[in-house]
Amino acid sequence: MKLCSIASGSSGNCIYVGSQNTNLLVDAGVSAKRIENGLNGIDILPDTIQGILITHEHSDHVSGLGILARRYHIPIYATYETANALDQIKSLGDIPRELYHYVKANETFMINDICVEPFATSHDAAKPVCYTMQAEGQKIGIATDLGKYDDYIVSMLEGSELLLVEANHDVNMLMVGKYPYYLKQRILGDRGHLSNDTSADLISRLIHPRLQHIFLAHLSKENNYEELAYETVCCELTNRGSSFSSKSVSVAHRDQPSCMVTI
């Protein structure tokens, strides 16, 4: 299996996941043109995408969805509540209802040779989920916009050989920054986003001998930067006695595709 983050951050998110026989996207939160360019850059034709897995309806996860899905007639996988919320977003245009495939947390389904399992997350959206994907005896876990994590989240991500985990903000940067108080409280709350420190806590519980790579994702443009997220997580893993190599941790970029990782 393989993963490439086409875009990741508070301004837009789109992740490519593939196997030998299947090409998928998780979210489509940047323009269709940018997604097309990102896919072409990794030698994936946009018309070979066989599904778009939507985590939730916020614009940084769906802004390019309407054009992309209509242009290539790509099936959209989302919870029923998320699909209804998407229908209310006028900027997406009319998305043919036959493109929707409804998913439920903890109910697995197949897209060709990839087994997908949605799992519920705590975020201020209609019915958000994230996803794990398994094929060829390997597992990829994707977890952003969590708000918080608990034993359930850990259990869903356990055993992943490749992880993409939110490291949205540095708490100190957020608290002294220019965001209004209500927005700071939203981000810090149980339905907001994971900080660098909390991301490190979660990752430390998911280290196992077969884990090959970790992407830190969904960084805030205003309240984080790549070097800080990377150093915070790697230092915390070292402090906890983890032998996981910092060379196997990378940050998913906001403005350009990240490296393709194959497991």
177 pLDDT above the threshold of 80? yes
State which amino acid sits at residue 42.
I
- Summarize pLDDT for 232-261 with one digit per residue, the tens: 999 999 988 787 887 899 999 999 999 999
Residue bearing tokens 């884990």: 211
pLDDT class of 204 with cuts at 50, 70, 90: very high
- Predicted pLDDT at 32: 98
d(CA 77, CA 221) in angstroms, rounded, equals 28
- Predicted pLDDT at 240: 83
The answer to whether the Cα torsion of 181, 185, 192, 238 is positive or negative is positive
The answer to whether the Cα torsion of 140, 237, 5, 63 is positive or negative is positive
pLDDT class of 39 with cuts at 50, 70, 90: very high
167 pLDDT above the threshold of 80? yes
- Predicted pLDDT at 247: 80
pLDDT class of 137 with cuts at 50, 70, 90: very high
Neighbours of 75 (CB within 10 A): 16
Bridging pattern class, strands 249-251 and 213-217: parallel
pLDDT class of 147 with cuts at 50, 70, 90: confident
pLDDT class of 189 with cuts at 50, 70, 90: confident
Mean pLDDT of 213-223: 96
Domains detected in the chain: 2-255 (3.60.15.10)
- Summarize pLDDT for 71-96 with one digit per residue, the tens: 999 999 999 999 999 999 999 999 99
- Predicted pLDDT at 244: 81
